[in-house]
Amino acid sequence: MTVFDQVQGLLDKPDIPFKSIIAGISIGKFVFETYLTYRQYKVLSKKTLPKVLENEIDDETFLKSEEYSRAKAKFSVVVDVYELVQKLVFIKIDAFPRLWKFGVQLANFILPAKFHAVSTVAQSLCFLSVLSNLSTILDIPTSYYQHFVLEEKFGFNKLTVKLWITDMVKSVALSHALGGPILYGFLKIFEKFETNFLWYICLFTFAVQVLAMVLVPMYIMPLFNKFTPLEDGELKTSIENLAKSVGFPLDQIFVIDGSKRSSHSNAYFTGLPFTSKRIVLFDTLVNESSVQEITAVLAHEIGHWQKNHILNMILFSQVHVFVIFSLFIGVYRNLSLYNDFGFFIGAPGSVLSSSSKVFTPEWPIIVGFMLFSDLLTPMECFMQFVMSLVSRLHEFQADAYARGLGFSKQLCQALINLQIKNLSTMNVDPLYSSYHYSHPTLPERLTNLGYVSEKKKR
Q: Which residues are catalytic?
A: 301, 399
SS (H, E, C) 148-194: HHHHHHCCCECCCHHHHHHHHHHHHHHHHHHHHHHHHHHHHHHHHHH
Nearest to 235 by CA among 279, 270, 197: 279
Quick check: helix, strand or coil at residue 378? helix
Q: Is 300 assigned to a binding site?
A: yes
Q: How far apart are CA 396 and CA 373, in angstroms?
A: 32
Could you write out the DSSP letters of every residue in 330-358? Answer: TTTT-HHHHHHTTEEES-S----S-TT-E
Could you write out the DSSP letters of every residue in 11-37? Answer: HT-TT--HHHHHHHHHHHHHHHHHHHH
Q: How far apart are CA 73 and CA 284, in angstroms?
A: 25
In terms of residues, how long is the chain? 458
DSSP state of 221: G
Phi first, then psi, for residue 157 (nearest 5°) are -70, 130
Quick check: helix, strand or coil at residue 327? helix
Strand-pairing partners, residue 250, are 277
Cβ atoms 301, 338 nearer than 8 A: no
Nearest to 291 by CA among 327, 334, 240: 240
Nearest to 362 by CA among 344, 349, 378, 389: 344
Q: How far apart are CA 427 and CA 446, in angstroms?
A: 14
Q: How far apart are CA 199 and CA 182, in angstroms?
A: 17
> What is the helix (H) or strand (E) element at residue 293, kind and residue range?
helix 291-306
How many of the other CB atoms lie within 10 Å of CB of 347? Answer: 8
Q: How far apart are CA 31 and CA 29, in angstroms?
A: 5
Q: Taking the C-alpha atoms of 171, 383, 76 and 37 in order, what is their torsion angle to the nearest 10 degrees?
A: -170
Q: How far apart are CA 376 and CA 315, in angstroms?
A: 21
Q: How far apart are CA 300 and CA 400, in angstroms?
A: 8
Q: How far apart are CA 204 and CA 182, in angstroms?
A: 9
Q: Is 304 assigned to a binding site?
A: yes
Could you give the maximum distance between any two Cα atoms of the chain, in Å?
Answer: 85
Report the binding-site residues. Answer: 300, 304, 395
Report the binding-site residues for Zn(2+). Answer: 300, 304, 395
